[in-house]
Chain A
Amino acid sequence: MQHIARRGLAIVAALALAVSTAACSNDGGGSPAKVDVPGVTDTEILFGTHQPLTGPAAPGYSKIAKATEAYFNYVNAAGGVYGRKLKYKIVDDGYNPANTQTVVRQLVLDDKVFAILNGLGTPTHTGVLDFLKTNRVPDLFVASGSRSWNQPDKYPYTFGWQTDYTVEGKIMATYIKNEQAGKKVCHLGQNDDFGRDHLAGVQKILGASGLAATDTYVPTTPDVTSQLGKFKAAGCEVVVLATVPGFTALVLGTAARMPYRPQFVVSSVGGDYLTLAGRLGAQGTPLLEGLIGAGYLPAVSDTSNPWIQLFRKVNDQYNAGAEFDGNILYGMSVGYTLVQALQAAGKNLTRDGIVQAIEKGGFKGPGTTPFRYSKSVHAGYSGVQMARTTGGKQNYFGKIYTTDDGDGEVKEFSEPATTPPASGLPGA
């Protein structure tokens, strides 16, 4: 048997040698004259992202990065930013944190991207924070509402983008306290930061004992019978959902079969009307009537909104006219914010430069509430507005609210919405 072992060890060595020669051969290049910024040339800036393109988390989310890329191509057609075209390398991690480790290292060490943009998922992205920090790679606009992205002392290169789950939970609870007063409230959340942070926000307003029952689900077990049975038994009249779209649809379908008809209030993460209608089919779509949600971007169905008009145009021209839903809107809006940040960072783009530009903040875009960016806060949008589904459309109602992820009060926000420049390019 020893020859097998010997051969095994020999193979290790041979493989490693083969890899090493391959690696050496593509060394070199790059101009020694000026200081190189990884991923930036006179004509190009390369961004990278990790997304779930396959596997159970892919539905819906797999459209986001493509929409961002479509907006990049729209900007590139108009000459790019400071003459540099924006390139986007999208890699699949299947929502598996182990894969994320590998692909992000590949993007940073092998493809030498300038920054990681909009990496999707809390468990996946949490694992690469330290790596990105060590390599001083800007980690921009993480696609998740976890509070983890807002730790400028610990992770100075990482920025959130969307309204975080706690802020959303606080504002939803404020709505319930004001408009659904006296009703029994329950909370169902995904069993990670999403569910926990959201619940924490709700409890900040309603108090720890303000909820009749709370429960969680695991994304790998598509069954919510027991959770809903518990809520029904507890007599809950309002059920707050911190669920992804698939589970929102499952909850609505299961409740209808029980039958159990509380008022559902669903997080923006799992509340996109078109995505839900697609899941529920023609028979199930009526279940969405009266559903209460929340949002920080214009309503997808609002065709008179200039932002929606702009992004629909870009979607038709550069994204093969994919079905325009909340995911596309999200991806394009991220692209818009990024272009704003690049413009603010100036012609001599550096990694520290873009971080400082975002910390200066002041970007006005499609979002209905302001960004919170500053030197000490790396969190994105600061609030949401509640929306109700009527006649197959999600319509915003009531005031826009903003707050923070701590104990700050929930405040009304009344500045008028911005409109995009005619060119569709920020700052133009």
Chain B
Amino acid sequence: MDRFVFLTLDGLSKGAVYAAFALALVLIWRSTRIVNFAQGALAVVTAYVAYSVTAATTYWLGFAVAIAAGLVLGAVVERGVMRFVEQAPPLNAVTVGLGLVLLIQGALGMIYGNDFRFFPAPVSRHALDIGSLPLLSPYDIVVFASVLLVMALLAVLFTRTRVGLRMRAAAFAPEVSRLLGVRVGRMLTLGWALSAAVGALAGMLVIPTGLGLHPTAMDLVFVTSFTAAVVGGFDSPVGAVVGGVAVGLVLSYVTGYFGADLTPIAVLVLLLAVLLVRPAGLFAGTKARHV
């Protein structure tokens, strides 16, 4: 029973990070119909920024700068590169995204070298004893709090603010929005910036749990979060969160009871089980939009 509790909490905490990362993917998909394959690499860039800033100052300043760097980086990538392929066939955007991944990994390797760097967690990952049982660690609490905060902020942004409404309008009906005076291009840039910032947050939280900071540190997280978004449904932010938590739990149980080697097979089974019943994810609202 102890073990079950441990694995559940561990799974929830990992799942929360996957949820945040999946959310970032969904944000971009909803506005541009692009699966941002470069999202992991972008998050790694912000983590390296945090690494450099932290080395010179304090952890939390590095944290804040990383999020800000995410905003800027997202905007730059959209304006500088993705804008040119948004109207092109979708696979061109995929190719550009993968090209960016290689470019970024090469560039980071040149600047920082290909060594794993120690990347600290914001707070201790040692579990606090509640009763006699080691339960949540301060790290888990920070993860839950920050992911919930991000979801709440995004929900408020998209449902309660003028900017948020414009962003949604620009995504769903760009032509009409443009006629109504919405600066569609600017909204897309904002969407990418937000998404990269959320990705940066997820990166800051998840990298300390792996082998350390490395140009490829987010590759596996990207793949896992991608499947999480597929499970939840690419058109639904709620789905991304549910998918993230579900995938986190499944990975934790399979790892704990059967061994980490089997996790890719478990992910495949989960995907097939969900998609054969609901081909557009758990939270597919309407039939997928015609393009």
Contacts and interface: CB of A to CB of B under 8 A. Distances in A.
A281 interface: yes
B216 A259 contact: no
Q: Is the interface of B mostly helix, strand, loop or mixed?
A: loop
Contact of A225 (B105, B113, B212, B255): B255
Contacts of A221: 260-261, 263
A59 B214 contact: yes
A249 B119 CA distance: 13
Interface string A56-68: 1011101000000
A283 B122 CA distance: 12
Q: Which of B127, B259, B261 has the most CB of A within 10 A?
A: B259
Interface string B114-149: 111111100001110000001001000000000000
Report the 7 A-B pairs with minimum CB-CB distance, sorted nearest first: A281-B118, A58-B114, A221-B260, A246-B211, A223-B260, A59-B116, A59-B115
Nearest to B10: A225
A264 B126 CA distance: 20
Nearest to A233: B3
Contact of B256 (A55, A62, A218, A226): A226
Interface in B202-229: 210-212, 214, 216, 220
A420 interface: no
Interface in B163-222: 210-212, 214, 216, 220
A58 B216 CA distance: 11
25 contacts: A54-B109, A56-B216, A58-B109, A58-B114, A59-B114, A59-B116, A62-B113, A215-B259, A217-B260, A218-B260, A221-B260, A225-B10, A225-B255, A226-B257, A226-B259, A227-B259, A229-B3, A246-B116, A249-B212, A256-B126, A257-B125, A259-B134, A278-B117, A281-B119, A284-B118
Q: Which of B115, B127, B214, B257 has the most CB of A within 10 A?
A: B115
Interface in A295-344: none
B256 A278 contact: no
A215 B256 CA distance: 13
B114 A54 contact: yes
Contacts of B113: 62
Contacts of A59: 114-116, 214
Interface of A: 53-56, 58-60, 62, 191, 215-218, 220-227, 229, 246-247, 249-250, 256-257, 259, 278-284
Given A62-B113, A226-B257, A284-B118, 10 more contacts: A59-B115, A62-B115, A217-B260, A223-B255, A247-B211, A259-B126, A278-B115, A278-B116, A278-B117, A280-B118
Contacts of A226: 255-260
Q: Which of A191, A216, A225, A282 has the most CB of B within 10 A?
A: A225
Contacts of A229: 3, 256
A217 B263 CA distance: 12
A31 to B, nearest CB: 40
Interface in B69-109: 105-106, 109
Contacts of B134: 259
A225 B9 CA distance: 13
Contacts of B259: 215, 226-227
A280 B7 CA distance: 23
A279 B212 contact: yes
A56 B214 contact: yes
Contacts of B255: 223, 225-226
Contacts of B118: 278-282, 284
A282 B125 CA distance: 14
B120 A283 contact: yes
A62 B260 contact: no
Q: Which of A215, A220, A257, A282 has the most CB of B within 10 A?
A: A257
A223 B116 CA distance: 16
B63 to A, nearest CB: 16
B211 A60 contact: no
Interface in B250-273: 255-261, 263
